[in-house]
Structure 1
Amino acid sequence: MTAVVTPQRLREFFHPRSFALIGASDKSTFSALLYRNLVAAGHGEVTYLVNRRSDQVHGRRAYASCRDIGCPVDLAFVMVPAPAVGDALRDAAAAGVRSALVLSSGYAEAGEEGRRRQRELVELAAELDLLLLGPNVLGFTNVAAGVPAMVLADPPTTPGGVALISQSGASCGAMKDFAALAGVELSYVITVGNEAMITVGHLIDYLVDDEHTRAIAVFMEGIREPEVFAAAARRAAEAGKAVVVLKAGRSELAARTAASHTGALVGDDRVVDAVFARHGVIRVDTIESMLVTAGVAAHTGPLARPGVGVVSISGGACDILADLAQAAGAALPEFTAETTERLRTVMPSYGSVHNPLDITGAAILDPSLWEEAVAAVGNDPNVGVVVAVNSLPWRDSSEPFYGQKYVNAIGAGAARSAAPVLYLTQVTQPIGAQARAVLDEGGVAHVVPGLHLGITALAHLARWSQDREQILREVVPPPRRIRDMDPVPLSEVAVRALLEEAGVPVVPARHVHSAEEAEAAARAFGGRVAMKIVSADLPHKSDVGGVRLNVDAAAAAASYDSLLAECTAKAPHARLDGVLVSPMRDTGLELLVGVTRDPQWGLVLAVGLGGVFVEVLDDVALTPLPVSPDRIRALVESLRGAALMHGVRGQQAADLAALSATVSAVGRLAEELGPRLESLEINPLRVAGDRIEALDALITWRDAAPAAVGKESRAC
């Protein structure tokens, strides 16, 4: 159904030259807003009003149908009730229209009947070769092309580098207004509503190639067509265009609200975080952070280095920024000796040279201090971006701004800086016409209103820049093959064989079928052993008394008999296949390594420290498959308990390269097991230096075939 959503069709969609407003009405605020926007942008003569009950709307002639217009129409904006939308689309297509926006609600957001209606809408649009945005959508503005096909007041008119996409139409109004207040200039404003045909992923993919767009800000409640979204996000990262997402659904209540609002699919939020990290998506928590971060990214692009250099006339601002940087994880590197010496030659004798740099009140008397400091810091090899903290006018005034000479000096320093320079105000304030004029006169390209928003944006951007480099370098080994396996329950012995074949080391073990064999195995291992019942029907052996630990050789025979007796009593229909005997492992670090199938994103790998770290601290890192050993190592290093793997209190440090290779092999095995795999779990994976062993493992299947039952199938 979505085969018609191509970049060429989207370019045609967002560059219409004529418009039909179907359902235009003097009684409709939506109709009045849309008509006013199009007329104000100079499209009045090519905007046609369609109303089958009235021949005049908004003081203009109205047509009974699109076919009556008699002129080519590129874009239809449908504003009729849901039951009439189908006829409106048929009429538009008959008149040669190829693109349509559907304002009407009552579709997937309205329950099962609405979802059925939406499916039929998409089928009809595809049949008519109509590209459809919506339903339940307020339209879009292509700022550079001067097309405000949007049911929101005051669409932006000054083109910029940030494309704004929103699943919520009402929230989009507040977003575009804040962007104007914060000095973030937009290339597009696009609402997507229910994304019945055109999804956020399609739009990101289109905007990657848009010459006006340098960063993309997205508000979403759910992710449709995950593969399209992931591929588009990765392409944006490769192109150096940051995708900054504010996604609702972290809380259970927010997820329920999102589902009821748009009918969207809201996946597990931690999996979404993992997908975003994997494909270079910056996730933020507020509208303000989303727009400011995207604005900074559009100005700087990927940072060559993560370090932030700060130049300020306020010592207090320096202190605040130092605290904010530490909290946000932004790096304020030390200046090199050369930079320090260069700054000392221009700084007053009572000033000190370090990052953040307080150039003191001396800059009031000598504005050139601003220029020299910004230039010196911006050319320090440790600095990837410079922020100059200074004031701007709050209100538009006919009086010249007293600080224009300081802004000019900052702009002159920025022109001499190798690193991009941002102008940063101390508090969140409106960037009005006079403030913008002051910056333009000074040659300052970008401003961020407020210390917190600024340093948070730079921390996001620095991490994204580093993640992007990893994405560009990553080489993922392909799975060797898809194994042709029946989805039947597997015993631990069978799972161990699969792991060994895949290159995953397992703890030595002997599969025994008598008490005498159990005792011989225990003596051969030369110490205490673990004994576990073998049964494909008992995935959780300890629940039925199927595990004995710290068994010495003298007790192994009796333990064998007691294991079988207890499991027979507690699980009389389970097929038993003897016992697995393996040496006890008392030292080393235990990890949980698992792969599970997410309904949206497919196979997802989880790595975490075992025991209390998983159960209490929830210390687990996730990533979708496929994955490279390098990324696995980064995941392991990201765990809160990662320091334990570097060796503490005499413990042997883990061989992280070997560990990463082992976990990578687990991921490849999961891929090889094919689409019927539900989960593969190793718990625990023991790590003691370079000795890595799977101590226990379990595989489960989707729609697994039922196990055979009955005592006649029992084997010992």
Structure 2
Amino acid sequence: MAGPITPQRLASLFRPRSVALVGASDKSNFSAVTYRNLVEFGHADRTYLVNRRGAETHGRPTVTSCAAIGEPVDVAFMMVPQAGTLDALSDAAAAGIRNAVVLSAGYGEAGEAGRAAQAELVAHAESLDMVLLGPNQLGFANFVHRTPVTPIPGLPHESGPVALLSQSGASSSAMLDFAGVAGADLSYMVTLGNEAMVTAGHVLDYLVDDEHTRAIAIFLETVRDPAVFRAAARRAAAAGKPIVALKAGSSELAARTAAAHTGALVGDDRTVDAVFRDLGVIRVDSIEDMLITAGTAARLGRLARPGIGVVSISGGACDILADRADDLGAELPAFAPATVQALDAIMPSYGTVHNPLDVTGAAIIDPTLFTRAIEAVSADPGVGVVAVVNSLPWMSDGRPYSGQVFADAIGDGMQNAAGPVVYVNQVLQPITAYTREVMARARVPHVIPGLRQAVVALHNLAWWSDATRDAVSGTPQAATPQAATSQPGTPVAVPEASARRGAWSETAARALLTEAGIPVVPGEAATSARQAAKAAAGFGGPVAMKVVSPDVLHKSDIGGVRLGVTGDEAVAAAYDEITTAASNVPGTRVEGVLVSPLRSGGTELLVGVVRDPDWGPVLAVALGGVFVEVLGDSALSPLPVSPVRARALLESLRGAALLHGVRGTPPADLDALAEVVARVGDLALALGDDLESLEINPLHVSGSTIEALDAVITWRNA
């Protein structure tokens, strides 16, 4: 059986010394282009053509089997039909080849029969101790070591610091082209296909150790093997290598997890979003943003501060950048007094000193104004990166570039700057060979094409720099349960595993929360109208009354809730109404009525956990109580969460101002509230795989008083 797929194991796949094209044929465009790529990159004498008929192919003699090659071969590129792939693998293994790249489709993407064929393919490869990339993909290209094992045409011959991974082979050609025109020069391009054996996580793990790769762009339709992906992403964060992901597709979790309100807030796409944030993975929504962000991140590296300082020749460009920064939440800090003073000394009298800075037409007369402005802005204590806006050419008119002097002045400013500086072109135009000539003369290493694209890339890089800063020295804070326990060393009390099953009533859920140290509003379960009236009298005020039944999750939907009930007669009548309404619902077991003091004012929250089938338990916090699905104001995070992380989630809500106190209501004790939220996460983790969902709705917050007013628990083994 094949061993673990480690970075060391993948080195022989992605850095092959020789390649066998199995199924080589003049009739196959895949074969012709793959062979041409290998020849153009200098691999003619290390490429072997395998044709079962032994026919001359691509102007060269062939062999009928891999075993007949007679030389060591690292990779077999399989271009045979699905029906012949298993035999082709056996032949390659007999020749000592340990890596196969399978082109053909009709596997996991093609229904039940295809999935069975893929499982057979993987089992066969494992039995031969072979690593398999694919199937249903277009190979890979290692631009650093000049090894293209792919039928994608038009490959660049220069390498760069960005690795491109794609689950879509068909889209990878367009991505490759755009990477070239956007200046995101590539170290690797890997198409992943069905990821039957080698997944995106495995390739990420390999690239973390690749010294030539400084950022990774990845297009995903799904995340296969989340555990491997998570571990690789954490290693990338610790290594300071940004991952920029374009994740397509979204859907809700299965209906079984939507029984509680939390299920309506936590969907596959929102869960991935939360997981990516937790891992420090930059998420974008277009190919252009993916590649421009990755290229920028690879060139600039980690930013010390999030602030963007802008120096521009165009006042209109300043306005556009300011608008886009406002849209995206990017930070354009006001200049410090020392910066203003330095800029006042060099700016013309009619210029205005603020961020973004328009150096005005005076820079046309004196290009060194660019240089001096860049130096001053880069030294500002609030600025982490300077974006300099000016034009660059992409087509030559046969004469020397008239704007070279301005590019040179900007390049001089970059050389003398106190921090990172990036050149920004005003429009999304290609970076051509001629553009690169102008850049080289000016000593400008990198250009971002487009104003919006610049704000997106720099804002993303600033977020990543902050989100992963702690990961550089080791494991991120929330990587282990121990790091996120709200009270280190304090165990969470949970029932025996044998009890964690079936349907639970609210009273059972309340007991579970209480045992775990989560505050719950006082309450008494009454089994008669008289007992309910006695309980209400003991609380001394208006009460809330709810049906107690393991079969009812949404009590108000069946008339099982009464609020603000006062007086013995009213309480007794409410008891009868609630139990009668519940009893009229077929299959409902009525255990009684829960009586609790009515809580009013304050703020109502939802705090819930749903188990995602791929990523495990996911915490949701939301505003709204009974209106939570209507308002949709929620924040998610995979577990575990620390109190610090829980507070950040609360502060990220659109309605967070309610927690700070409005219209005379007391501000919430956010530290205490964060402790409770983190403790809910601890409880969910302690309940393990038995838990399907846990929801407190509402969690009532009034100043330092925090109480769960209602709770629902569902188990996977119902």
Aligned with residue 484 of structure 1, among 496, 499, 512: 496
Q: In the superposition, relative to structure 1, how do residues 251 and 693 fare at CA in structure 2: closer, same or farther (>3 Å)? A: closer
Q: 1:367, 1:599 → 2: CA distance?
A: 59
Residue 277 (str. 1) matches residue 308 (str. 2): no
Go from structure 1 to structure 2 and tell me whether the alpha carbon gap of 1:21 and 1:272 turns closer, same or farther (over 3 Å shift): same
The 1:351/1:572 distance shift into structure 2, 3 A limit, reads closer
Q: Give, in angstroms, the shift of residue 271 of structure 1.
A: 1.1
Conservation of the 8 A alpha-carbon contact between 1:518 and 1:556: no
**Closer, same or farther in 2 for the Cα pair 1:570/1:347, shift >3 Å?**
same
Q: Distance between the aligned counterparts of 1:307 and 1:268, measured in 2?
A: 33
Q: Distance in 2 between matches of 1:324 and 1:414?
A: 24
2:612 is matched with which residue? 598
Aligned equivalent of 1:453: 453
Aligned to 1:5: 5
Q: Distance in 1 between matches of 2:92 and 2:558?
A: 67
Q: 1:417 to 1:513 in 2, by over 3 A?
A: same
- Out of 638, 644, 659, the position equivalent to 1:645 is 659
Residue segments in structure 2 that go unaligned for 5+ positions in a row: 253-265
1:513 aligns with 2:527: yes
1:485-634 to structure 2, matched below 5 A, reads 485=497, 486=499, 487-555=501-569, 558-559=572-573, 562-563=576-577, 565-566=579-580, 569-571=583-585, 574-611=588-625, 614-634=628-648
Change (3 A) 1:545 1:344: closer
CA displacement 1:34-81 (0-9 Å, x = unmatched): 000001111101100000023311010110000001011111000000
Match for residue 695 of structure 1? Answer: 709
Structure 2 contact 378–386 (Cα < 8 Å) conserved? yes
Separation of aligned partners in 2, 1:582 and 1:566:
20
Q: Which residue of 2 aligns with 1:260?
A: none
1: CA distance, partners of 2:404 / 2:326 = 32
Paired residue for 1:263? none
Equivalent-residue separation in structure 1 for 2:275 and 2:543 (angstroms): 41
* Residue number in structure 2 paired with 1:339: 339
What are the Cα deviations for residues 223-247 of structure 1, in whole angstroms up to 9, with x where unaligned? Answer: 1001111221122122221111111
The answer for the alignment partner of 1:714 in structure 2 is: none
Match of 1:294 in 2: 294
Offset of 1:468 from its aligned partner?
A: 2.1
- The answer to whether the 8 Å contact 1:613/1:619 transfers is no
Q: Summarize the Cα distance change of 1:497–1:538 in structure 2 as closer, same or farther, 3 Å threshold.
A: same
Q: Does the CA contact (< 8 Å) of 1:593 and 1:681 recur in 2?
A: yes
Aligned residue identity for 1:484:
E
- Conserved 8 A contact 2:579-2:590: no
Match of 1:459, as an amino acid?
H
Q: Which TM-score applies when normalising by structure 2?
A: 0.93
Count residues in correspondence: 691
Structure 1 equivalent of residue 259 of structure 2: none
Tell me how far 1:104 sits from its aligned partner.
0.7
Q: Which amino acid aligns with 1:24?
A: A
* 1:322-356 deviation digits (Å, cap 9, x = unpaired): 11111121111111111111112222222221111
CA positional deviation for 1:544 = 4.2
Matched residue of 1:591: which SS? strand
The question of 1:95 aligning with 2:95 is answered: yes
Conserved 8 A contact 1:267-1:600: no
> Does the CA contact (< 8 Å) of 1:33 and 1:152 recur in 2?
yes
Describe how 1:91-170 pairs up with structure 2 within 5 A: 91-170=91-170
Distance 1:397 1:596, change over 3 A: same
Three-state SS of the structure 1 residue aligned to 2:631 is coil
Larger displacement relative to structure 2 (482-491 or 219-228): 482-491
In the aligned structure 1, how far is the partner of 2:715 from the partner of 2:521?
Answer: 24
The residue matched to 2:424 in structure 1 has which SS?
strand
Cα distance in structure 2, aligned partners of 1:332 and 1:6:
43
Q: Is structure 2 residue 684 aligned with structure 1 residue 670?
A: yes
Superposed, which structure 2 residues align to 1:374-385 within 5 Å?
Answer: 374-385=374-385
Q: Unaligned stretches of 5+ in structure 1?
A: 253-265, 705-716
Q: Give % identity.
A: 59
**1:55 to 2:67 alignment:** no
Distance 1:531 1:622 in 2: 31
Q: What is the distance in 1 between the residues matched to 2:547 and 2:625?
A: 22
Q: How does 1:35-74 map to 2 (within 5 A)?
A: 35-74=35-74
3-state SS of paired residue (1:289)? helix
Query: CA–CA distance in 1 between the matches of 2:216 and 2:271?
Result: 22
CA contact (8 A) 2:559 2:578 kept: no
Aligned AA (2:198):
I
1:502 aligned partner, one-letter code = A
* C-alpha distance in structure 2 between counterparts of 1:648 and 1:574, whole Å: 41
* Letter of the structure 2 residue corresponding to residue 231 of structure 1: A
- CA deviations 1:479-499 (Å, max 9, x no partner) are 946752321222222211110
- 2-structure distance, mates of 1:48, 1:396: 42
Query: Following TM superposition, by how much is the alpha carbon of 1:457 offset from its aligned partner in structure 2, in angstroms?
Result: 1.1
- Deviation sequence 1:334-390 (CA, Å, 0-9, x none): 111111111122222222211111111221222211111111111111100011111
Paired residues of 1:518 and 1:560 also in contact (CA < 8 A):
no
User: TM-score w.r.t. structure 1 length?
Assistant: 0.93
Structure 1 residues 424-433 or 537-546, which shifts more?
537-546
In 1, the alpha carbon distance for the partners of 2:335 and 2:546 equals 60
Q: What is the distance in 2 between the residues matched to 1:309 and 1:687?
A: 41
Partners of 1:352 and 1:151 lie apart in 2 by: 55
Match in the other structure for 1:355: 355
Aligned residue in 2 for 1:242: 242
CA distance in 2: counterparts of 1:268 and 1:149, whole angstroms: 34
> Post-superposition shift, 1:557?
5.5
Task: Indicate if the aligned counterparts of 1:388 and 1:424 stay in contact, CA closer than 8 A.
Answer: yes
- Contact 2:108–2:115 (CA under 8 A) maintained in structure 1: yes
* Aligned equivalents of 1:323, 1:613: Cα separation in 2: 33
Distance 1:568 1:420, change over 3 A: closer
Q: Which amino acid aligns with 2:670?
A: L
Corresponding position of 1:411: 411
Q: Does 1:80 align with 2:88?
A: no
The residue number in structure 2 matching 1:709 is: none
CA separation of 1:688 and 1:568: change in aligned 2, threshold 3 A: closer
Deviation, structure 1 residue 542: 3.4
Q: Which residue of structure 1 lines up, in the alignment, with residue 399 of structure 2?
A: 399
SS at match of 2:306: coil
Distance 1:613 1:390, change over 3 A: farther
Report deviation, 1:466: 2.2
Give the Cα separation in 1 of the matches to 2:395 and 2:626.
56
> Against the structure 1 CA distance between its residues 451 and 568, is the aligned structure 2 distance closer, same or farther, given a 3 Å change threshold?
closer
Q: Is the 8 A contact 1:246 1:290 kept in 2?
A: yes
Q: Do 1:243 and 1:282's aligned partners in 2 also have CA atoms closer than 8 Å?
A: yes
Q: Which secondary structure state, in structure 2, belongs to the residue aligned with residue 61 of structure 1? A: coil
- Measure, in 2, the Cα distance between the counterparts of 1:208 and 1:680: 37
In structure 1, how many angstroms separate the alpha carbons of the residues matched to 2:269 and 2:342? 49
Structure 2 CA distance, aligned partners of 1:411 and 1:573? 76
**CA RMSD, Structure 1 to Structure 2 (Å):** 1.9
Residue identity in the other structure for 2:222: G
Counterpart in the other structure of 2:217: 217
